[in-house]
Amino acid sequence: REFYNVSYTEIGLALTVFNVTTAAFQTPAGFLVDRIGARSVLVAGLVLGAVCLAMVGLIPSFWLLVAMFALLGVANAVYHPADYAILSQLVSHERAGQAFSVHIFAGFLGTAVAPATMLILQQWLGWQGAFLAASVLGLLVAIPFLVQPAALFEAPPRPVRPASEQPKDDK
């Protein structure tokens, strides 16, 4: 706030823009996942988010921060459509509840520890260094998705059905 010489309300504007763009792009991101595939959209979101965080850490402009938080909201919007599509392809019907609950728990845990993590990084690296470190972490998360075969994320595995849903042999 002091760096940009703005009020808490103006800083809140950046967070509001992030949340509004996340909400606005959630449904279009789902359509994009269905059209080009979850893995591609997820990687694009991770990389776009990392670039936005790096820009915030490198360029000292409040309005650029707001613009980058808008694009960060677009990047954030892809995660649920992409990761739910991947989970639904890779997890058996019998384990879907467990898989989604663990996934959602991990997401909330990440959301809970992110502010504390950024505060610790800010103490070590300054606020701009904290954004740059978060950017690097985002790129590191993207790497496994880039090096794994695309089929692992986009082609459904052999269908697994509960015994009650298996086709009946009428012989």
- pLDDT tens-place string over residues 69-100: 999 999 999 999 999 998 988 888 888 899 99
Q: What is the pLDDT of residue 94?
A: 87
Q: Give the CA distances from residue 19 to residues 70, 100, 158, in Å, rounded to whole numbers and listed in that order.
A: 8, 23, 38
Q: What is the DSSP letter of 149?
A: -
More confident residue, 32 or 161: 32
CB atoms within 10 A of CB 87: 16
Confidence band, pLDDT 50/70/90 cuts, at residue 165:
low
CA atoms within 13 A on the CB side of 138: 24
| Residue 27 exposed, middle or buried by CB count within 10 Å (0-12, 13-18, 19+) | exposed
Q: What is the pLDDT of residue 155?
A: 47
Cβ within 8 Å of residue 119, ≥6 positions away: none
Q: What is the pLDDT of residue 157?
A: 46
Q: What is the pLDDT of residue 161?
A: 54
CB atoms within 10 A of CB 164: 5
Confidence band, pLDDT 50/70/90 cuts, at residue 44:
very high
- Cβ pair 93, 105 in contact under 8 A: no
pLDDT in tens, 45-64: 999 999 999 999 998 899 99
Closest CA to 29 of 41, 16, 17: 41
